[in-house]
Amino acid sequence: TNAILAADAVVKSFGPTKALDGASMSVRPGEVVAVMGPSGSGKSTLLHCLAGIIKPDRGRVIYDGRDLGAMPDVPRSALRRTEFGFVFQFGQLVPELTCVENVALPLRLGGRKRRDAEAKAREWLTRLEVDDVAPKRPGEVSGGQGQRVAVARALVTAPKVIFADEPTGALDSLNGEHVMRLLTEAAKESGAAVILVTHEARVAAYSDREVVVRDGRTREVAFA
Ligand code: ADP
Ligand code: ADP
């Protein structure tokens, strides 16, 4: 296949709890896949395995031809920083930094000069329609604005895969749909794959394909 990232028969236990029991899914460049399922079904664990944050007990996670589970910690962390982007339910912006500094941060950590990084960050804030919040701190912006800043921060490094874990979970439906539209449009434009964990059908509606997780197992859902 031409998947950029795939989980193959992944098993993961936490003590006696089998969080994943043979979970498989894949995503292609430019594709948005929604991962759905009830609370406790294993969605977060699957996301963390795909992102190389936790190692499967059995099965494999393949990113761009490389087995993430077999990769040593240092190159695996480096890969995560440079090729993956993350958006969480609560933006998790650094409260002491302005919004433009937050978006520039991944570039600064990668060694880019301040002026250069912040110019790029401003482009992304504009793209996400929140250029006006650039000088403000996260505590001074609305929830919807904060999430758009978080999306800009996830996209600024031009990642190959974006992991979005309930990215609209803390927003009302209007703001949620706005964030989803901007996130999916920007991802499509840059050719990034998106793995979107959600339990809301109206959020999953922005995906190309759905995978349902139940009791640690995955099932593909074909659209009618
Ligand atoms: P979901 O994201 O679908 O709510 P999770 O992947 O968070 O599901 O959890 C799947 C199961 O694994 C649940 O029973 C959860 O309590 C358990 N679990 C997840 N992470 C841990 C952990 N670090 N330690 C112990 N149990 C965990
Ligand atoms: P989400 O809301 O995204 O599904 P959770 O709140 O279930 O995430 O989990 C948040 C973090 O806590 C994750 O890193 C997960 O692995 C961990 N976790 C989840 N369930 C448990 C548990 N029963 N015991 C310990 N850690 C857990």
Q: Whose CA is nearest to atom 4 of ligand 2?
A: 44
Q: CA 139, 145, 146, 150: dihedral to nearest 10 degrees?
A: -150
pLDDT in the model for residue 222: 61
pLDDT in the model for residue 224: 42
For the CA of 45, the nearest atom of ligand 1: 6
- DSSP sequence for 144-212: HHHHHHHHHHHHTT--SEEEEESTTTTS-HHHHHHHHHHHHHHHHHHT-EEEEE-S-HHHHTTSSEEEE
Q: 217, 59 in Cβ contact below 8 A?
A: no
Q: CA 47, 51, 54, 60: dihedral to nearest 10 degrees?
A: 90
Any idea what DSSP says for residue 67?
Answer: E
For the CA of 17, the nearest atom of ligand 2: 23
Profile the chain (224 residues) by mean pLDDT over runs of 10 residues: 92 97 96 94 95 95 94 92 90 93 95 96 95 97 92 94 92 89 91 93 93 93 59
188: tokens are 């499509």
Q: Whose CA is nearest to atom 7 of ligand 1?
A: 44
The closest ligand to the CA of 16 turns out to be 1
How close is the Cα of 132 to the center of ligand 2, in Å? 35
Give the residue, out of 10, 11, 12, 14, with the most ligand 1 atoms within 8 A of its beta carbon, to mutate for a pocket test. Answer: 14
Rounded to two decimals, the pTM is 0.85
Q: 51 in helix, strand or coil?
A: coil
Chain CA centroid to CA 87, Å: 5
Query: Is there an atom of ligand 1 within 6 Å of 43 CB?
Result: yes
How close is the Cα of 86 to the center of ligand 1, in Å? 19
Give the residue, out of 39, 41, 44, with the most ligand 2 atoms within 8 A of its beta carbon, to mutate for a pocket test. Answer: 44
CA atoms within 13 A on the CB side of 117: 18
Residues with CB under 6 A from ligand 2: 44, 165-166
Cα–Cα distance measured from residue 214 to residue 216, given in angstroms and rounded to the nearest whole number: 5
Strands 161-165 and 84-87: parallel
pLDDT in the model for residue 213: 96
How close is the Cα of 100 to the center of ligand 1, in Å? 34
How close is the Cα of 46 to the center of ligand 1, in Å? 10
Give the residue, out of 13, 17, 215, with the most ligand 1 atoms within 8 A of its beta carbon, to mutate for a pocket test. Answer: 17
Which conformational region is residue 145 in: left (phi greater than 0), alpha (psi within -120 to 50 degrees), or beta?
A: alpha
Cα–Cα distance measured from residue 108 to residue 101, given in angstroms and rounded to the nearest whole number: 9
ipTM above 0.90, yes or no: no
Q: Provide the β-strand partners of residue 66.
A: 63
